[in-house]
Amino acid sequence: MVLSTMQALPIGNISFTTFQLNGFYSLGEWRRFLFIPYFLMFLLCTTANSILIFLIISRKALHSPMFVLIGLMAVVDLIMPMIFVPNMLLNFLFDWNQISFVGCLMQIFWIQFVGAFQSTLLLWMALDRFFAICRPLSYHKHMQMPSFLKFIIVPVIRNGLLHIIMVSLAGKLHFCVKNEIDHCFCEHMGLVQLACEDTSVNNIFGLTTTFLIPIADFIFIAISYVIIFTSVIKSGKSSSKAINTCITHIIVITFSLVFILTAFLSYRTRNNFSPNSRVFISTMYILFPSCFNPIIYGVRTKEIRVQFLKLFNHVKVLSQ
């Protein structure tokens, strides 16, 4: 026991190369029961998003730019939980809580990089609605793939570059005091706050990344919807279908923004959040949108709802 403890302790400038993910450990034996709700959410997420992706790929009626973007959102919502939930479930059941430093950095990068496309896709959807409602005559011109690529390239480069720099900065830190991350997956600030050196650059760049990606995207989204609603009111036309789609996006945006900002502020401000509450919020800001985005789009978007009912009836007939 003493030997294993001595081997775990860093000497001199040696930094930890493995970390322990100890989210919810204060729950003791009750922690294992968390497998059930998180597994059910993971099952809901994979099933709902897979159905939505299948519908959009297989049904020609859903091959318009807007539904392609919804399909891409479903792909993001499907990939995000797969990055960390399987490991988290094994951790709950068997206490498999160790992760290498490189593995931790890779997990941070992919969660942040893939997650950034949730707000970016919502921005592209707002752009689609802007051209559909405010510039209908030039909609097909701007939304054809060659023209639309110019709106895609810049956010993709922005997301990739910022997160590569952020993870590279975290990779240069030394961890010589503690290697226990009070989380169920490797979260950027959860790792950085364990460093035994100045982390002000990491904190500043983390703030910068947050302002340049989700917050900047949401500002542009808000501006686009103000223009859209102003245009509809001034025209005096009833665009119930278009407005209904916009409202669906606003619901998704609101849920995403609330969870992202709550998780973000829980690490960077003085608050009364317990460690368990902070971990719960961080897992929910990834899992909740991934679970309920396809349901919101499926219920509120008539075309998707109709195609789903056709698919359901077809499967029902085949099973009889």
For every residue of 259-293, DSSP letters joined together read: HHHHHHHHHHS-----HHHHHHHHHHHHHHHHHHH
Helices (H), 135-239: 139-143, 145-171, 188-192, 200-210, 216-235
Residue 306's pLDDT band (cuts 50, 70, 90): confident
If you average pLDDT over residues 171-186, what whole number do you get?
Answer: 87
Please report how many Cα atoms fall inside a 13 Å half-sphere around the Cα of residue 232, on the Cβ side.
18
Q: Is the pTM of this model over 0.75?
A: yes
Mean pLDDT across the chain, nearest whole number?
Answer: 82
**For the chain, how many residues are written?**
320
Cα 140 from Cα 307, distance rounded (Å): 23
Question: Which sign does the torsion angle of CA 286, 292, 296, 298 carry?
Answer: positive
- Is 231's pLDDT higher than 90? no
**In the prediction, which pLDDT does 2 show?**
34
Least confident of 94-103, 168-177, 181-190, 253-262: 253-262
CA–CA distance, 175 with 186 (Å, rounded to integer): 14
Q: What's the pLDDT score for residue 78?
A: 93
d(CA 256, CA 253): 5
Rounded to an integer, the average pLDDT of 34-42 is: 93
DSSP per residue, 107-139: HHHHHHHHHHHHHHHHHHHHHHHHHHHH-GGGH
Question: Does position 53 have pLDDT exceeding 90, yes or no?
Answer: yes
Locate 187 and state its tokens. Answer: 């979260």
Query: At a CB cut-off of 8 Å and minimum separation 6, what does 25 contact?
Result: 31, 182
Strand ranges across the sheet with 180-181:
98-100, 18-21, 180-181
pLDDT of residue 268: 63
Predicted pLDDT at 74: 92
Mean pLDDT, residues 84-103: 90
Average pLDDT over residues 87-112: 91
pLDDT band, residue 49 (cuts 50/70/90): very high
Whether the per-residue pLDDT at 308 is higher than 90: the answer is: no
Closest CA to 20 of 263, 190, 167: 190
For the ranges 24-38, 158-172, 197-211, the maximum mean pLDDT occurs at 158-172
pLDDT exceeds 60 at position 210: yes
Give the bridge partners for 181, in sequence order: 21
Q: Is the dihedral of CA 260, 266, 268, 271 positive or negative?
A: positive
Question: pLDDT-derived band of residue 320, with 50, 70 and 90 as boundaries?
Answer: low
Domains plus CATH for the chain? 29-319 (1.20.1070.10)
Give the per-residue pLDDT at 117.
86
Residue 280, Cβ density class (10 Å: 0-12 exposed, 13-18 middle, ≥19 buried): middle
Query: b/e for 143-162, b at 16 or more Cβ within 10 A?
Result: beeeebeeeeeebeebbeeb
**C-alpha distances out from residue 35 to 88, 184, 215, 278, 280, Å:** 8, 12, 33, 18, 13
What average pLDDT score do residues 73-78 get? 92
CB-count burial class (<10 Å; 0-12, 13-18, 19+) for 215: middle
pLDDT average, residue stretch 237-264? 70
User: pLDDT category, 8, cuts 50, 70, 90?
Assistant: very low
DSSP SS3 for 239: coil
Q: Quick one: the chain helix, strand, coil %, rounded to 5?
A: 80, 5, 15
Which comes out higher in pLDDT, residue 230 or 47? 47
Instruction: Report which of residues 276 and 240 the model is more confident about.
Output: 276
At residue 237 the predicted structure's pLDDT band, cuts being 50, 70 and 90, is: low
Per-residue pLDDT, 67: 87
Looking at residues 8-34, what average pLDDT do you find? Answer: 76
Would you state the pLDDT for residue 224? 86
Q: Are 165 and 103 in contact (CB under 8 A)?
A: no
- Amino acid (1-letter code) at residue 187: E
Mean pLDDT, residues 296-304 taken together: 81
pLDDT for the residue numbered 156: 86
Answer yes or no: is pLDDT of 93 > 60. Answer: yes
Convert 267-278 to b/e letters by CB count within 10 Å (16 or more is b).
Answer: beeeeebeeeeb
The pLDDT assigned to 9 comes to 43
